[in-house]
Amino acid sequence: QKEVEQNSGPLSVPEGAIASLNCTYSDRGSQSFFWYRQYSGKSPELIMSIYSNGDKEDGRFTAQLNKASQYVSLLIRDSQPSDSATYLCAVTAEGTYKYIFGTGTRLKVLA
Amino acid sequence: DADVTQTPRNRITKTGKRIMLECSQTKGHDRMYWYRQDPGLGLRLIYYSFDVKDINKGEISDGYSVSRQAQAKFSLSLESAIPNQTALYFCATSYRGDTQYFGPGTRLTVL
């Protein structure tokens, strides 16, 4: 069973701090990695995609991928109360189109 | 206008009724997906379609059927709804196996 693991949280950080969200995956052949943000009752919204080892930055968000250790992380700098949401990690299984989603980490940014 | 739309947005029905959820997209994507989301269980794939003539079962297809009427339309049917099909349902699209974009969701309650 190919899995994607995330700590369910909640992860609480003060406003202005860095939030660090982590995700591990079991399929070594995974090739594409995605972070989605989901507000309660709403649909997942793409935050970042990353395909190769290293860091990828987009505004306040940085995705980090380490295929050898099979983890992907998302850093949110200068966290804002509006960042409070559930963050879903998704990984595509080797040789397929299919996403495998983690169950998400709930982030709370405290004003 | 939204790129991926779902109708209805909310539906309450009774056990044994037939229900159809519809998804339309204007993104020009070839691939379409149906997921359900339950608290604590994350997103689970019900069916997916690579094109009009290619439909495949996901991990939880029992009790569901689909129809890909056109490249832009993908419908999910519950032939005889049961209470444990109460969930949030999302349609998603992608171009080949790349990033998936989600519709706004349908909240279905089966009494």
Tell me if A45 and B102 make a contact (CB, 8 A cut-off). yes
- pLDDT tens for chain A, 111 residues long, are 668 999 989 999 999 999 999 999 998 888 899 999 999 999 999 999 999 999 999 999 999 999 999 999 999 999 999 999 999 999 987 667 788 999 999 999 999
d(CA B10, CA B80) in angstroms, rounded, equals: 18
pLDDT number for residue B1 = 58
Q: For B27, which DSSP code? A: S
d(CA A90, CA B23) in angstroms, rounded, equals: 22
Best residue of B99, B101, B106 to probe chain A, by most A CBs closer than 10 Å: B99
Tell me if A103 and B40 make a contact (CB, 8 A cut-off). yes
Query: Is residue B54 pLDDT above 90, yes or no?
Result: yes
Best residue of B41, B54, B100 to probe chain A, by most A CBs closer than 10 Å: B100
Q: Which residues pair with A45 in a beta bridge?
A: A37
Residues A3, A67 contacting (CB under 8 angstroms): no
